[in-house]
Homo-oligomer: A and B are copies of this chain.
């Protein structure tokens, strides 16, 4: 279960990012986070902290609730 929620979150972040037409490097720079770290997050390999998640949301210009709806529980 633990790994599953991170995969879902990563997938949604990636979706948002590509919808914005950004590269991982773009997002990393806007969020003030290392580019390799963003990659790990999108692949569901990183267990990020709440503040970092907020930084990513801020960079993506989206509400956190948009990324977390149905979590945990209804993992599609």
The chain A residues found within 8 Å of chain B, CB to CB, are 1-2, 5-6, 9, 47-51, 53-54, 57-58, 63-66, 68-73
Contact = CB atoms under 8 A, between A and B. Distances in A.
A1 to B, nearest CB: 8
Contacts of A50: 5-6, 9, 47-50, 53
Nearest to A61: B73
A58 to B, nearest CB: 5
Contact of A58 (B6, B64, B73): B73
A35 B69 CA distance: 27
A73 to B, nearest CB: 7
11 contacts: A1-B54, A2-B51, A5-B54, A6-B50, A54-B72, A63-B68, A63-B71, A64-B72, A65-B65, A65-B66, A65-B68
